[in-house]
Amino acid sequence: MCVPLEKKMIPRSSRLDRILPAALAKLVHALAVISRAPLLFVVALAAIGCGSSASTSTSVTAPASTRCEANVSSTPSNHAASGGTGTLNINVARECSWVAASPVSWIAFTSSTEGQGPGSVSYRVAENDVPVGRQASVTVADRQVSLTQQAAPCTFEVGSPPANVGSGRAEQ
């Protein structure tokens, strides 16, 4: 008759080398040091049964890390109709990489769009020649930053009437 699996929670401070083989214990310790976050070790142990053999399986689960979540801001975030330049400031842990992307052609990057750790990306906003403001969200490290641009001023042209304007009566 088989004995059901038993799950045990083992805190990081426990002596893993008593339970796991030495090589696995070193690997788990290295993962714990790299992650800098509390790890949860779940060890499923099967008691001797089902013949003369025992089986052991191990799974290591780390909590979801927020270490690489970036803070991204733009200076400035609102641009004149004439266009201009700006900077995206990225604040993230030094071991985290990021990529910047623009979904529109009127925002063009003028510096590298990839980096690791804290950094910045320069961009240029093209002139807006239509009397409607526009907005786009650029993406950096899975974060979206909204950039807006003012509308171009409305222009009107007033001129002299054409010289051959009639009296408004139909000619016969």
Question: Cα(66)–Cα(72) distance, rounded to whole angstroms?
Answer: 15
Q: Could you report the per-residue pLDDT of 139-157, keeping only the tens digit for each?
A: 999 999 999 999 999 988 8
All structural domains of the chain with their residue ranges: 6-61, 71-149
pLDDT at 172: 57
Please, are residues 147 and 77 in contact by the beta-carbon 8 Å criterion?
yes
pLDDT bin (cut points 50, 70, 90) of residue 51 is very low
SS3 of 23, please?
Answer: helix
Exposure pattern of 59-88 as b/e (b: 16+ CB <10 Å)?
eeeeeeeeeeebebebeeeebebeeeebeb
pLDDT at 162: 75
Q: Pull the structure tokens for residue 102.
A: 């623009």
Q: Could you report the per-residue pLDDT of 57-111, keeping only the tens digit for each?
A: 444 444 446 789 999 999 999 999 999 999 999 999 999 999 999 999 999 999 9
In CATH, 71-149 is 2.60.40.10:
yes
| pLDDT above 90: residue 52 | no
| pLDDT above 90: residue 15 | no
pLDDT at 53: 46
Q: Could you report the per-residue pLDDT of 103-136, keeping only the tens digit for each?
A: 999 999 999 999 999 999 999 999 999 999 999 9
pLDDT at 163: 74
